[in-house]
Chain A
């Protein structure tokens, strides 16, 4: 059973918003100026900035200053960690349920052998 990464909750909370997901999606194409990032959204730059700050706090996004320009880039590590936890947890339970299935099967086979030994009831 894998431990959840320490920022799993803040990672998934950060992902719980379509604007933030769209920002991350845009950043998968590479480093982007903040102003450029905010362009496609109907909401104000201020509102976009709030979303960006949340992504920064979750360490999903890094900021680089070059003069007056701010550039953002995606940090894939928290996403990778969240995905790894999800995978490991699913694998753990799939293995347990496989074992449950096998145990129930074995019970059925044992019961069926007992019935055969006893023969048809009169």
Chain B
């Protein structure tokens, strides 16, 4: 599915940042090398990655199958498409967990060299199900707003801090 026309500003998004001792090149390659990616990308502790196919080009797709459970196992299939590949700085792809849901997410991976290591920022956006109703409203400050609202239960809503 192609969602390249939309700005990052119009979707619900979550952002995570992490530093690595490894170089930007090594961290970038870990996403697209099937041997490496199968060890961590959609792998779960409880499951076993039985298949990881990667067509590492713009417009190429990937498919990871994580086998979970014992005798009555379930094969959880993760599919997606690469939208941007700019080694080692930027990787953008869509994905959905075919086994459970039609919800599509867009993931933006940005890697910045930092000394001998690097810093990775990952932005996960939920792609709206209904393109027609998508508005151009900016989300900037949304998550700040969410953190500032306390429900009558007095429970804090943690968010991207």
User: How many residues belonging to A are interface residues under a CB distance threshold of 8 Å?
Assistant: 38
Query: At the interface, yes or no: B27 with Cβ under 8 Å from chain A?
Result: yes
Query: At the interface, yes or no: B135 with Cβ under 8 Å from chain A?
Result: yes
Query: At the interface, yes or no: A3 with Cβ under 8 Å from chain B?
Result: yes
Binds B, one of A12-20, A39-47, A63-71: A12-20
Among B12, B137, B143, B152, chain A packs the most CB atoms within 10 A around the CB of: B12
Interface string of A45-62 (1 = CB under 8 A from B): 000000000000000000
CB within 8 Å for A104 and B145 given contacts A30-B152, A86-B14: no
B22 contacts A93, CB within 8 Å?
Answer: no
A21 contacts B145, CB within 8 Å?
Answer: yes
- A/B pair count, beta carbons within 8 Å: 113
Query: At the interface, yes or no: B43 with Cβ under 8 Å from chain A?
Result: yes
A16 contacts B26, CB within 8 Å?
Answer: no
A93 contacts B124, CB within 8 Å?
Answer: yes
Binds A, one of B53-61, B85-93, B97-105: B97-105
Nearest A residue to B152 via CB reads A28
What is the CB-to-nearest-CB distance from B109 to chain A, in angstroms, rounded to a whole number?
10
Taking Cβ atoms with an 8 Å cutoff, the residues of B that contact A are: 11-12, 14, 16, 18, 20-22, 26-27, 30, 36, 39-43, 97, 100-101, 103, 105, 120, 122, 124, 126, 128, 135, 137-139, 141-143, 145-146, 148-153, 157-160
Taking Cβ atoms with an 8 Å cutoff, the residues of A that contact B are: 1, 3-4, 8-9, 12-13, 15-16, 18, 21, 24-25, 28, 30, 74, 76, 79-80, 82-83, 85-87, 89-90, 93-94, 96-97, 99-104, 107-108
